[in-house]
Structure 1
Amino acid sequence: MTAVSTDGTVTCAGETLSADLVIAADGVNSITRRTLWSGNAVFQHRTVWRGVTPSGSVWPVRESLTLGRGMQVGVLPLPDERVYWFLTANADKPNQLYADDRAEVLRMLRHWHRPIPELVAATPEDQVLHNDIVDIDPLETFVQDRVVLLGDAAHAMPPDLGQGACQALEDAVVLAAALADDDLPRYDRDRRARVHPMTAAARASVTRTSNTSPLTHLALTLTARFIPATSWRQATAKWSNWTAPKLP
């Protein structure tokens, strides 16, 4: 895409097309958003590595979240005896590259408790993903005339709540319902009401987990250790619980 206008005109590869509605789902670095709205990606001074182990390589494993000073590691068992893991860590600047991402993660986590180092070591070297954590500032609207933003293009957020991709799916369902009822403003109103508090909570989580103060870290780890799992689930239910609108 080289150009898009609010009247639904799109110019791509030298061809001009006209649409009743343009849905821009082109991610956190959305050209459409940066052209018609504003909002460059905001680096949150955090970077993340992710991986999934081969089937049965490290098993059994329990779901867990381990907090370090300016670092955290999450572990989530998957079907077929695979395990998803992630490491988030503070970063002074964006776009720092490593010759071997798995080796870098192993270096950072070599003294962490089992099975964290084993999970990283079991993951194939070429399947360790590394990305900086970026988001965007809240937008005043997701709709301009005949152009609609959806997913990360509209409300990219840090991954701390695990809701980024989930909210893109919700966007699609709500947009379909709004279009079926010929009520596009409802999509804008309902989705901003849903995601803006969520993006604020995700940023607040980054602030907490990136704080390297010993006292802050102690308070955070004690809270995580002694609050029952049921209480954690109740606290996060407002983000994960959602009822989809009925479609015709």
Structure 2
Amino acid sequence: MFSNGVAVLNDLGVSLDGAGGRIDRIDALTSDGRLRTTMDLVHTAAHFGFENKSVSRNVLLDRLAEGLPEGLVHYRTGFRSVTQDDDRVTVTFDDGSTATGDLLIGADGHHSEVRRQLWGEDVVRTATFGTWQALSPIDIDLTHTHLHLMITGKEGACGLIPGGDGLLQWWFDVRWSPSDPRPTAPLAELRRRFGHWASPVPEVLAAAREEDLGFFGHHWNRVRPVWGQGRVTLIGDAAHTMPPTLGQGANQTLEDVWVLGRELAKGGDLPVRLRAYEKDRYPKVSLVSRLARRSPANWRIPPAIGRLFPETSQTTMLSRFSNRLTAVTG
């Protein structure tokens, strides 16, 4: 959760106090341990007014759900179709039941059925990397810091972020396509592939547990200037699936929430407000999506070039770049 996402949560009254781990700095390293670049996130937190944090998705969902009325959220009910007229929108579910309201927000993610009905056959494409990841109790020095490491080499990329409470968020990016066979012993494969990298990668792999490990392939779709139709719109991955290389998927979804809420609060013609929301979000989120697709986390800036830019300069560039991308600046 970077400052832009935390800012939206704060505006919604959702606190992350005591959750996860604070991120104060990002160091980009070579696989043999040399420093490429470094960025001071204490500076960006002061600039935007909100900390950067590594937070478990489950913890975030629990915080979002606090105080919701009993029975408000219904699970295991698949979307089948939507119809609308000038005043209302009606959704039909897989079990034949229906729900009617003023608008429909398709927040159904990467495999969005609402998007499929609006845009036609699935437009999501496969990117070139996939991620093996976990959140594990790994007791190494890094786990008890506020330092985020991004490590890259010819074998792929590794990310390590302290997650608070003795947990470490760790992942490995490897080239991938859906036709690739899934390894029967993925942790052994990761150890073979990355185990010779500089510390602390071998220590993480030695302490890792197979049962914590999960995989997801990277996907993307070209962001459209208009996402919805009439009283229907999209939000988050349903509108802009992107690889996780910028760490902006959840943060951009929260920015969607903030802008949509602002537009709806203006009142008036609801379809007009939904198109205004989409128009506002399009230039920012399409830029983020394009950059994420190009996998900047896997760019291998030579250490000699990184040293040409002092940490303060790199941090200033990050702040200006983040300000360009975000609709919420504190």
Verify same fold: TM over 0.5.
Answer: yes
Query: Once the 2 structures are TM-superposed, how far is the Cα of residue 40 of structure 1 from its aligned partner?
Result: 2.5
Letter in 2 for 1:237: S
Identity %: 32
Distance of 2:258 and 2:97 partners within structure 1: 30
Corresponding residue for residue 125 of structure 2: 42
Does 1:5 pair with 2:83? yes
Letter in 2 for 1:85: W
Distance of 2:317 and 2:82 partners within structure 1: 41
Equivalent pairs counted in the alignment come to: 237
Distance of 2:308 and 2:214 partners within structure 1: 32
Query: Once the 2 structures are TM-superposed, how far is the Cα of residue 95 of structure 1 from its aligned partner?
Result: 5.9
1:236 is paired with a residue of what secondary structure? helix
- Of residues 228-237 and 146-155 in structure 1, the stretch that sits farther from structure 2 once superposed is 228-237
Does 1:130 pair with 2:215? yes
Distance of 1:82 and 1:190 partners within structure 2: 37
Query: Once the 2 structures are TM-superposed, how far is the Cα of residue 75 of structure 1 from its aligned partner?
Result: 1.5
Query: Once the 2 structures are TM-superposed, how far is the Cα of residue 46 of structure 1 from its aligned partner?
Result: 0.9
Corresponding residue for residue 99 of structure 2: 17
- Of residues 177-186 and 153-162 in structure 1, the stretch that sits farther from structure 2 once superposed is 177-186
Q: Which runs of 5+ in 2 are unaligned?
A: 1-78, 268-272
Does 1:145 pair with 2:230? yes
Query: Once the 2 structures are TM-superposed, how far is the Cα of residue 84 of structure 1 from its aligned partner?
Result: 1.4
Distance of 1:245 and 1:190 partners within structure 2: 15
Letter in 2 for 1:209: N
Distance of 1:41 and 1:220 partners within structure 2: 33
Query: Once the 2 structures are TM-superposed, how far is the Cα of residue 116 of structure 1 from its aligned partner?
Result: 0.8
TM-score (norm 1): 0.84
Does 1:233 pair with 2:233? no
1:111 is paired with a residue of what secondary structure? coil
Instruction: Give the alignment partner of residue 196 of structure 1, picking from 281, 286, 298.
Output: 286
Query: Once the 2 structures are TM-superposed, how far is the Cα of residue 6 of structure 1 from its aligned partner?
Result: 5.2
Corresponding residue for residue 213 of structure 1: none
2:281 is paired with a residue of what secondary structure? helix
- Of residues 90-99 and 149-158 in structure 1, the stretch that sits farther from structure 2 once superposed is 90-99
Query: Once the 2 structures are TM-superposed, how far is the Cα of residue 23 of structure 1 from its aligned partner?
Result: 0.6
**1:215-230 to 2 correspondences below 5 Å:** 220=302, 222-224=304-306, 227-230=309-312
Distance of 1:224 and 1:52 partners within structure 2: 30
**1:87-126 to 2 correspondences below 5 Å:** 87-94=172-179, 96-126=181-211
Contact 2:104 2:232 in 1 (8 A): yes
Does 1:209 pair with 2:298? yes
Query: Once the 2 structures are TM-superposed, how far is the Cα of residue 226 of structure 1 from its aligned partner?
Result: 5.2
Query: Once the 2 structures are TM-superposed, how far is the Cα of residue 175 of structure 1 from its aligned partner?
Result: 1.0
Distance of 1:148 and 1:98 partners within structure 2: 39
Letter in 2 for 1:42: R
2:203 is paired with a residue of what secondary structure? helix
Cα deviation 1:99-145 (Å, max 9, x = unaligned): 23222211211111111121133232111111111111122312211
2:130 is paired with a residue of what secondary structure? strand
Letter in 2 for 1:153: A
Please report the RMSD computed on the Cα atoms of aligned residues, expressed in angstroms. 2.6
**1:165-204 to 2 correspondences below 5 Å:** 165-182=250-267, 183-204=273-294
Provide closer, same or farther for how the CA distance between residues 143 and 70 of structure 1 changes in structure 2, counting only shifts above 3 A.
farther
Cα deviation 1:159-201 (Å, max 9, x = unaligned): 1111001011111121111111123332111111220111111
